[in-house]
Amino acid sequence: MKLTRRKFLGGAAAVAASSMTLFNFNLLTNSPSASAADQPSEAIKTFRNVCPRNCYDTCGMITYVEDGVLKKVEGDPKHGYTNGKLCLKGYSYPRRVYSPDRIKYPMKQSPRGSGNWTRISWDEAMDTIAKKILDLKKRYGSTLPICLDKYSGNFGIVHYGIEGTMSSIGYTTRAVGTPCWPAGIDAQTYDFGTLYSNDPEDMVNAKYIILWGQNAAWTAIHSLPFINEARERGAKLVVIDPILTSTASKADLYIQINPSTDGALALGMARYIIDNNWVDWEYARANSLGFDEWVEYVKKSITLDWASEKTGVPKDIIMEIAREYATAKPASMWVGYGMQRHTNGGQNVRIIDALGVMTGNVGKSGGGVNYGHLETWGFNYNAMVNAPPKGSKGFIGPDGKEGDRAINMNNFAHDVSAQSDPPVKMLWLACRNPGAQDPDTNAIEKMFSSMEFVVTVDSFFNKTVEMSDIVLPATTHFEDWDVMASYWHYWVGINQRAIDPLYECKSDVEIAIELSEKMNALEPGSCTFPTSGTPEEWLAKEFNPGIHQMLGINDYKELIDGPRKAKMPPASWSDGNFRTPSKKIEIHSELAEKNGLPALPIWVDEMKTPEKYPIRFMTPHPQYALHSQFQNLDWMMTTNPEPKVEIHPNLAAKYGITEGTMVKIYNDLGSITVKAHLTRTTSTNVIVAYEAWYKNSNFNVNYTLKAIPSDMGKQATGNDGLAFHDNFVMIEKA
């Protein structure tokens, strides 16, 4: 498949020669194979794909294609972690690819937000975009008025060509950071040098498992068999979560902790472990810095009574889990991303890290303080790396270096609007739906309306597309070549082009090529993105000897035979080579201190509940969707037709709310109205609604969410995270 523009309406009318008719065809043409009608259907072909969503599991898939049509998807049995099974979202993929709702052609809206869309050719789309880029560059002397917001809609490596698109036109403004997990990343960066978790398949060796704010049943279901196997071998499962999730419902012990107090619980456990001398002094002292200093802090400042008061967990339970965790050997902890979405979230992860270190569970098979890893992501990012055109003017950073202008992805609306020299005038959105996912939706709407020009690449008509001038139709991963790694398991898989791109959909790299051709035609030298190469060639360029060696292959094509698991020990840090400045675990982190954080994993108070808004509104990940993907599909809309807010019956009674009542949830920022579901799976001061984008619905949990930063994230990801779960509201009957 060449990367040339496909013409849908054949320019020259074809004449069916064999039938010698004078009929002028526009859409039909001579079939190359004579008497093709008598030919049997093509045999079913199978392809290897990898689900590229922002998900722990990054499943290996087998795609069945007949006559060029994707018939069904199955799990890839050669994938040792996902083991031939998909989740409900994965099985729904044919609905996504062939949904009549897909965005099919480049479209232009005038004016933005009006719903007045015209179909335009790729050429016109590229011409309009290229001219706008060149116009902004001329007016402002640089491409800095152009801002890219790309994140996790597709985590395929070739999709970093989106960043490459921007690099190739000059220095631009970039939304930097990650909304998901940065506080925890920084916590592990301060402690261990980076995030690096055990192989999840190694959980089978754990004798005790604590899932800390982690709902694997919904967000990492393929880990459950490994947890179950450990349990069958005798391990106890403890789930600590403010919400009694599906995962928590299976636990031997479920602890409904006060939100944001996880560090206090860990400190209480640490105190009891010290008091009973279950500390692995040898491991901790040999491998870490500042351990004794922290032990002194715990002895001096922490009591079980305090921990119990703070967390809402009875003392005897703290003692029980402390004893069991410290003496199980090995004991595994899995720190979920939900628990770090607080103003003290990173600090809480650091405390939990220290708990793992003090019990000698770090570096051990069956142990670990597991959060995620990026060990298998060492690709070339070839599509991402492009030199700016000659003479490009950049932003002079605080370090005096010229480059892109970074703004905070987690306060996107505010930061875009705050730029003045030069202002941001144009947005390019790809793999990202800030209209649904960013905090303070009202602020997002306002910021979008202040833009001169908005380009969005997407597959479905979501809130962000609604607010765009031009939308470009994106391919699905079945229509692309790519390679995917996981931030949880150790497998890497290739993603083949199983079917031709539908309609006029293009991959992000194909779009970059089109743009480059257009820009250089309009102004030679204005874009450095290469204009050649097939999608498979672009994929091939992502591999390097390091990746080959890690996966035990000589060529990327070997991955077509099956995904490969990285050759790494089952336990992270088992070599004791930590990647901190001191090469040891830094219980005392000077880097943290330099960044204005406590050097030690000490308690930092959680955000106070405001008097006016006494109810915490938690908006965790949904079961039927991944952020704003999947829930809009018909199967999901049938099984889960509408959003609901989970309210404890006692809280509901206070406001006269019964099952099915429409509830207005509001604070100073905004409000949403959603149907109540009464359940004791939540507590009396926490209401829960799962974030998602429902088809033809304005439901969006982020209208009341302030862009309050979590405590960490800057060090490793450029910006602090978001305290998604410190969202306080009032409720009333709507």
Partner 1 sequence: MTFFEDCPPQVLKTHGELLLALSHLFAQGGENLSQTLSPLVKSCSAIAEHYNTSRLLQANQILAQYSETNDGEYLVMCYEFNRLFVGPNAPVAPPYESVYLSSDHLVMGEQTLAVRKFYQRENLQTIGQRHEPDDFISTELEFVAYLLSRIIETQAAKNSAKIQLYKTLYQEFWQQHLGLWLKTFAHTVSQSAKHPLFSALSEILVALSTLNAPLNTKEAPYETYAPQISRRSSSRCCL
Partner 2 sequence: MSKQLGFLHNSEKCVGCRGCEIACKNEYQIEATPQWRKVFQLHEDDFSLPTRMFFSMACNHCAHPECLRVCPVKAYTKREDGIVIHDPNRCIGCRLCTMACPYDRPQINPAKKKVEKCNLCYQRIDQGEKPACVTACIPGALELVEINDSLDQKTGILKTLPGLPSPKITSPSIRFIGPKQGKQIRRD
Whole-number minimum distance, CB 338 to partner 2, in Å? 16
Which of 114-122, 264-272, 334-342, 401-409 is the region at the interface with partner 1 (rule: CB under 8 A)? 114-122
Q: Based on CB atoms, which residue is closest to partner 2, 254 or 529?
A: 254
Which of 2-10, 149-157, 207-215, 482-490 is the region at the interface with partner 1 (rule: CB under 8 A)? 2-10
What's the alpha-carbon Rg for the chain, to the nearest Å? 27
Return phi, psi of residue 388, to 5°: -65, 155
Phi-psi region of 589 (alpha: psi -120 to 50; beta: other; left: phi over 0): beta
Whole-number minimum distance, CB 114 to partner 1, in Å? 8
Rounded Cα–Cα distance for residues 109 and 117 (Å): 4
Which one among 285, 579, 654, 680 touches partner 2, defined by CB under 8 A?
A: 680
Which of 88-96, 107-115, 352-360, 581-589 is the region at the interface with partner 2 (rule: CB under 8 A)? 88-96
Rounded Cα–Cα distance for residues 554 and 548 (Å): 6
Angstrom CA distances, 683 to 316, 484, 649, stand at 21, 39, 9
Assess contact for 105 and 119: CB atoms under 8 A.
yes
Question: How many CB atoms lie under 10 A from the CB of residue 4?
Answer: 9
3-state SS, 65-82, equals EECCEEEEEEECCCCCCC
Which one among 5, 8, 175, 577 touches partner 1, defined by CB under 8 A?
A: 8
> What type of residue is 357?
V
Rounded Cα–Cα distance for residues 106 and 171 (Å): 26
Nearest 10 degrees: Cα torsion 541, 430, 419, 108: 130
Q: Based on CB atoms, which residue is closest to partner 1, 430 or 669?
A: 430
Q: Does 684 bind partner 2 (CB under 8 A)?
A: yes
Q: Does 94 bind partner 1 (CB under 8 A)?
A: yes
Q: Does 88 bind partner 2 (CB under 8 A)?
A: yes
Which one among 100, 524, 545, 656 touches partner 1, defined by CB under 8 A?
A: 100
Q: What angle do CA 236, 685, 433 make, to 5 degrees?
A: 85
Choose the contact partner of 730 out of partner 1, partner 2, none; CB within 5 to 8 A by kind. Answer: none
Choose the contact partner of 275 out of partner 2, partner 1, none; CB within 5 to 8 A by kind. Answer: none
Choose the contact partner of 639 out of partner 1, partner 2, none; CB within 5 to 8 A by kind. Answer: partner 2
Burial class (CB in 10 A: 0-12, 13-18, 19+), 324: middle
Handedness of CA 666, 670, 673, 677 (dihedral sign): negative
Asked if the bond preceding 422 is cis, omega within 30° of 0, the reply is: yes
Which one among 113, 225, 530, 598 touches partner 2, defined by CB under 8 A?
A: 225
Q: Does 650 bind partner 2 (CB under 8 A)?
A: yes
Q: Based on CB atoms, which residue is closest to partner 1, 14 or 317?
A: 14
Return phi, psi of residue 86, to 5°: -115, 170
Which one among 204, 255, 465, 604 touches partner 1, defined by CB under 8 A?
A: 465
Q: Does 98 bind partner 1 (CB under 8 A)?
A: yes
Whole-number minimum distance, CB 115 to partner 1, in Å? 7
Which one among 51, 169, 180, 244 touches partner 2, defined by CB under 8 A?
A: 244
Q: Does 643 bind partner 2 (CB under 8 A)?
A: no
Which of 138-146, 399-407, 445-453, 673-681 is the region at the interface with partner 2 (rule: CB under 8 A)? 673-681
Q: Based on CB atoms, which residue is closest to partner 1, 532 or 696?
A: 696
Supply the DSSP symbol for 179.
Answer: S
Q: Does 637 bind partner 1 (CB under 8 A)?
A: no
Q: Does 23 bind partner 1 (CB under 8 A)?
A: yes
Contacts of 715 (CB under 8 A, 6+ apart): 186, 189, 190, 591, 595
Is beta strand 69-75 parallel, antiparallel or unpaired with respect to 60-66? antiparallel
Beta bridge partners of 677: 646
Whole-number minimum distance, CB 109 to partner 1, in Å? 8
**Contact string (CB under 8 A) for partner 1, positions 490-529, x = contact:** ---------xxxxxx-------------------------
Rounded Cα–Cα distance for residues 335 and 210 (Å): 8
Q: Does 26 bind partner 1 (CB under 8 A)?
A: yes
Contacts of 316 (CB under 8 A, 6+ apart): none
Whole-number minimum distance, CB 18 to partner 1, in Å? 5
Which one among 374, 602, 637, 734 touches partner 2, defined by CB under 8 A?
A: 637
Choose the contact partner of 88 out of partner 1, partner 2, none; CB within 5 to 8 A by kind. Answer: partner 2
Q: Does 75 bind partner 2 (CB under 8 A)?
A: yes
Phi-psi region of 458 (alpha: psi -120 to 50; beta: other; left: phi over 0): beta
**Contact string (CB under 8 A) for partner 1, positions 468-487, x = contact:** ---x-x--------------
Q: Which two tokens stand for residue 710?
A: 């979590």
Q: Where are the beta strands (DSSP E) in 476-534?
A: 482-485, 491-495
Q: Which long-range contacts (CB under 8 A, 24 or more apart) does 1-4 make?
A: 1/497, 1/500, 1/534, 1/535, 2/534, 3/510, 3/513, 3/532, 3/533, 3/534, 3/535
Choose the contact partner of 105 out of partner 2, partner 1, none; CB within 5 to 8 A by kind. Answer: partner 1
Q: Does 164 bind partner 1 (CB under 8 A)?
A: no
Q: How would DSSP label each residue in 648-703?
A: -HHHHHHTT--TT-EEEEE-SS-EEEEEEEE-TTS-TTEEEE-----TT----GGG
Rounded Cα–Cα distance for residues 6 and 338 (Å): 44
Choose the contact partner of 461 out of partner 1, partner 2, none; CB within 5 to 8 A by kind. Answer: partner 1
Q: Does 91 bind partner 2 (CB under 8 A)?
A: yes
Choose the contact partner of 91 out of partner 2, partner 1, none; CB within 5 to 8 A by kind. Answer: partner 2
Choose the contact partner of 591 out of partner 2, partner 1, none; CB within 5 to 8 A by kind. Answer: none
Q: Does 15 bind partner 1 (CB under 8 A)?
A: no
List the interface residues with partner 2, window 300-339 (CB under 8 A): 312-314, 317
Which of 176-184, 221-229, 356-364, 453-461 is the region at the interface with partner 2 (rule: CB under 8 A)? 221-229
Which of 35-43, 56-64, 222-230, 671-679 is the region at the interface with partner 1 (rule: CB under 8 A)? 35-43
Gap between the terminal Cα atoms of the chain: 55
Q: Where are the beta strands (DSSP E) in 315-462?
A: 331-335, 369-370, 395-396, 402-403, 405-408, 426-430, 453-458
Which of 228-236, 304-312, 331-339, 457-465 is the region at the interface with partner 1 (rule: CB under 8 A)? 457-465
Beta bridge partners of 456: 429, 471
Choose the contact partner of 637 out of partner 1, partner 2, none; CB within 5 to 8 A by kind. Answer: partner 2
Choose the contact partner of 198 out of partner 2, partner 1, none; CB within 5 to 8 A by kind. Answer: none
Whole-number minimum distance, CB 696 to partner 1, in Å? 7
Question: How many CB atoms lie under 10 A from the CB of residue 16?
Answer: 15
Which residues of this protein are in contact with partner 2, per CB under 8 A? Answer: 71-75, 83-88, 91-92, 94, 217-218, 221-222, 224-225, 228, 237, 244-256, 258, 312-314, 317, 623, 634-635, 637-639, 648, 650, 679-681, 683-684
- Interface residues with partner 1 (CB under 8 A)? 6-10, 14, 16, 18-19, 21-23, 25-37, 39, 41, 67-70, 94-95, 98-105, 107, 115-119, 460-461, 465, 471, 473, 499-504, 634, 695-696
